[in-house]
Amino acid sequence: MTKTTHPTADRPRALAKARRGQPAKHRGLRTAVFGVAAAAIAVAALALVATRLLPTGPVATGAVRVQASMGGFQPAAMTVKAGSAVRIELTSTDTSFHSDGGGWHEMAIDELGIDWKVGPQSSKVFEFSAPTTPGTYTWYCGICCGGRANPSMQGKLTVTA
Protein backbone atom coordinates (compact mmCIF):
# COMPACT_ATOMS: atom_id res chain seq x y z
CA MET A 1 0.00 0.00 0.00
CA THR A 2 1.79 3.07 -1.24
CA LYS A 3 -1.27 5.20 -1.73
CA THR A 4 -2.09 7.06 1.46
CA THR A 5 -4.80 9.23 0.06
CA HIS A 6 -8.19 7.66 0.02
CA PRO A 7 -9.85 7.78 -3.44
CA THR A 8 -12.73 9.80 -2.07
CA ALA A 9 -10.57 12.13 -0.02
CA ASP A 10 -11.33 15.06 -2.27
CA ARG A 11 -15.05 14.35 -2.10
CA PRO A 12 -15.79 17.14 0.39
CA ARG A 13 -14.21 19.58 -2.01
CA ALA A 14 -16.36 18.21 -4.81
CA LEU A 15 -19.46 18.50 -2.65
CA ALA A 16 -18.59 22.01 -1.66
CA LYS A 17 -18.08 22.87 -5.28
CA ALA A 18 -21.44 21.31 -6.14
CA ARG A 19 -23.12 23.19 -3.31
CA ARG A 20 -21.57 26.41 -4.52
CA GLY A 21 -22.87 25.71 -7.99
CA GLN A 22 -26.38 24.79 -6.88
CA PRO A 23 -27.59 28.08 -5.48
CA ALA A 24 -26.58 29.90 -8.63
CA LYS A 25 -28.64 27.46 -10.68
CA HIS A 26 -31.58 27.83 -8.31
CA ARG A 27 -31.19 31.57 -8.30
CA GLY A 28 -31.56 31.49 -12.07
CA LEU A 29 -34.70 29.39 -11.78
CA ARG A 30 -36.10 31.62 -9.07
CA THR A 31 -35.44 34.68 -11.22
CA ALA A 32 -37.19 33.04 -14.14
CA VAL A 33 -40.22 32.08 -12.02
CA PHE A 34 -40.37 35.58 -10.55
CA GLY A 35 -40.10 37.08 -14.02
CA VAL A 36 -42.96 34.98 -15.34
CA ALA A 37 -45.10 35.81 -12.30
CA ALA A 38 -44.32 39.52 -12.63
CA ALA A 39 -45.17 39.41 -16.33
CA ALA A 40 -48.47 37.63 -15.61
CA ILE A 41 -49.38 40.24 -13.01
CA ALA A 42 -48.48 43.03 -15.42
CA VAL A 43 -50.67 41.51 -18.13
CA ALA A 44 -53.56 41.10 -15.66
CA ALA A 45 -53.17 44.72 -14.54
CA LEU A 46 -53.12 45.93 -18.14
CA ALA A 47 -56.22 43.87 -18.90
CA LEU A 48 -58.02 45.50 -15.97
CA VAL A 49 -56.99 48.97 -17.14
CA ALA A 50 -58.00 48.09 -20.71
CA THR A 51 -61.51 47.20 -19.56
CA ARG A 52 -61.84 50.72 -18.22
CA LEU A 53 -60.70 52.22 -21.51
CA LEU A 54 -62.97 50.13 -23.69
CA PRO A 55 -64.29 50.73 -26.21
CA THR A 56 -61.64 52.59 -28.16
CA GLY A 57 -63.05 52.16 -31.64
CA PRO A 58 -65.52 54.45 -33.39
CA VAL A 59 -69.16 54.11 -32.47
CA ALA A 60 -71.45 52.34 -34.95
CA THR A 61 -72.81 54.57 -37.70
CA GLY A 62 -75.66 56.75 -36.48
CA ALA A 63 -75.66 55.10 -33.08
CA VAL A 64 -75.47 56.50 -29.59
CA ARG A 65 -72.97 54.68 -27.44
CA VAL A 66 -74.15 53.57 -24.02
CA GLN A 67 -71.57 51.89 -21.81
CA ALA A 68 -72.65 49.66 -18.98
CA SER A 69 -70.45 48.48 -16.13
CA MET A 70 -70.89 47.54 -12.51
CA GLY A 71 -70.64 51.30 -11.84
CA GLY A 72 -73.74 52.09 -13.90
CA PHE A 73 -74.59 53.48 -17.32
CA GLN A 74 -72.57 56.06 -19.21
CA PRO A 75 -74.40 58.17 -20.18
CA ALA A 76 -77.26 57.60 -17.78
CA ALA A 77 -79.62 59.88 -19.67
CA MET A 78 -80.62 60.26 -23.29
CA THR A 79 -83.01 62.46 -25.21
CA VAL A 80 -84.61 61.38 -28.46
CA LYS A 81 -87.24 62.87 -30.76
CA ALA A 82 -90.72 61.35 -30.69
CA GLY A 83 -91.24 58.85 -33.49
CA SER A 84 -87.60 58.88 -34.54
CA ALA A 85 -85.51 55.82 -35.33
CA VAL A 86 -82.93 55.34 -32.60
CA ARG A 87 -79.77 53.28 -32.82
CA ILE A 88 -77.99 52.44 -29.62
CA GLU A 89 -74.63 50.72 -29.34
CA LEU A 90 -74.75 49.01 -25.99
CA THR A 91 -71.36 48.06 -24.58
CA SER A 92 -70.40 46.10 -21.51
CA THR A 93 -66.98 47.19 -20.29
CA ASP A 94 -66.86 44.49 -17.61
CA THR A 95 -64.94 41.25 -17.91
CA SER A 96 -66.45 37.80 -17.55
CA PHE A 97 -64.62 37.52 -14.20
CA HIS A 98 -67.34 39.52 -12.43
CA SER A 99 -69.05 37.06 -10.14
CA ASP A 100 -72.21 39.16 -10.24
CA GLY A 101 -73.64 38.72 -13.72
CA GLY A 102 -70.45 37.50 -15.39
CA GLY A 103 -69.94 40.83 -17.15
CA TRP A 104 -73.38 40.79 -18.75
CA HIS A 105 -75.54 43.91 -18.67
CA GLU A 106 -78.99 44.76 -19.81
CA MET A 107 -80.83 47.82 -21.00
CA ALA A 108 -84.53 47.33 -20.45
CA ILE A 109 -87.53 49.61 -20.71
CA ASP A 110 -90.62 47.60 -19.83
CA GLU A 111 -93.12 50.18 -21.19
CA LEU A 112 -91.48 50.08 -24.62
CA GLY A 113 -90.89 46.34 -24.73
CA ILE A 114 -87.12 46.87 -24.81
CA ASP A 115 -84.86 44.24 -23.28
CA TRP A 116 -81.37 44.32 -24.73
CA LYS A 117 -78.52 42.30 -23.32
CA VAL A 118 -74.82 42.49 -24.00
CA GLY A 119 -72.05 40.10 -22.97
CA PRO A 120 -68.76 40.84 -21.22
CA GLN A 121 -66.44 43.26 -23.03
CA SER A 122 -68.56 43.43 -26.11
CA SER A 123 -70.85 45.75 -28.01
CA LYS A 124 -74.11 45.26 -29.79
CA VAL A 125 -76.18 47.70 -31.84
CA PHE A 126 -79.92 47.84 -31.21
CA GLU A 127 -82.59 49.81 -33.02
CA PHE A 128 -86.01 50.95 -31.98
CA SER A 129 -88.64 53.52 -32.87
CA ALA A 130 -89.09 56.17 -30.21
CA PRO A 131 -92.68 56.52 -28.97
CA THR A 132 -94.73 59.10 -30.85
CA THR A 133 -95.82 60.82 -27.67
CA PRO A 134 -93.35 62.73 -25.49
CA GLY A 135 -92.52 61.41 -22.08
CA THR A 136 -89.80 60.02 -19.87
CA TYR A 137 -88.90 56.40 -19.36
CA THR A 138 -86.52 54.67 -17.00
CA TRP A 139 -84.19 52.01 -18.34
CA TYR A 140 -82.54 49.54 -16.05
CA CYS A 141 -80.28 46.52 -15.83
CA GLY A 142 -81.76 43.60 -13.95
CA ILE A 143 -78.72 41.35 -14.27
CA CYS A 144 -76.18 42.71 -11.81
CA CYS A 145 -75.85 44.39 -8.41
CA GLY A 146 -79.30 43.81 -6.97
CA GLY A 147 -80.92 44.20 -10.36
CA ARG A 148 -83.67 46.69 -11.01
CA ALA A 149 -83.71 48.01 -7.45
CA ASN A 150 -80.16 49.30 -7.79
CA PRO A 151 -80.41 53.05 -8.53
CA SER A 152 -76.97 53.15 -10.16
CA MET A 153 -77.98 50.59 -12.78
CA GLN A 154 -80.64 52.89 -14.22
CA GLY A 155 -80.94 55.59 -16.86
CA LYS A 156 -83.53 58.01 -18.14
CA LEU A 157 -84.84 58.20 -21.69
CA THR A 158 -86.56 61.46 -22.51
CA VAL A 159 -88.78 61.61 -25.58
CA THR A 160 -89.38 65.14 -26.83
CA ALA A 161 -91.92 66.41 -29.33
The residue ranges that bind Cu ion (CB under 5 A) are 105, 141, 143-144, 153
Question: Is-contact 157 78, C-beta < 8 A?
Answer: yes
Q: Give residue number: closest CB to Cu ion.
A: 141
Q: What number of CA atoms fall less than 13 Å from residue 161's CA on the CB side?
A: 0
Q: By C-beta, is 89 or 159 nearer to Cu ion?
A: 89
CA 154 to chain centre: 20
Q: By C-beta, is 88 or 159 nearer to Cu ion?
A: 88
CB of 74 to Cu ion, least distance (A): 12
CB of 33 to Cu ion, least distance (A): 39
Closest listed residue to residue 87, CA positions, set 118, 124, 115: 124
Question: Is-contact 144 98, C-beta < 8 A?
Answer: yes
Q: By C-beta, is 153 or 159 nearer to Cu ion?
A: 153
CB of 159 to Cu ion, least distance (A): 23
Main-chain phi, psi angles of 52, to 5 degrees: -80, -25
CB of 105 to Cu ion, least distance (A): 4
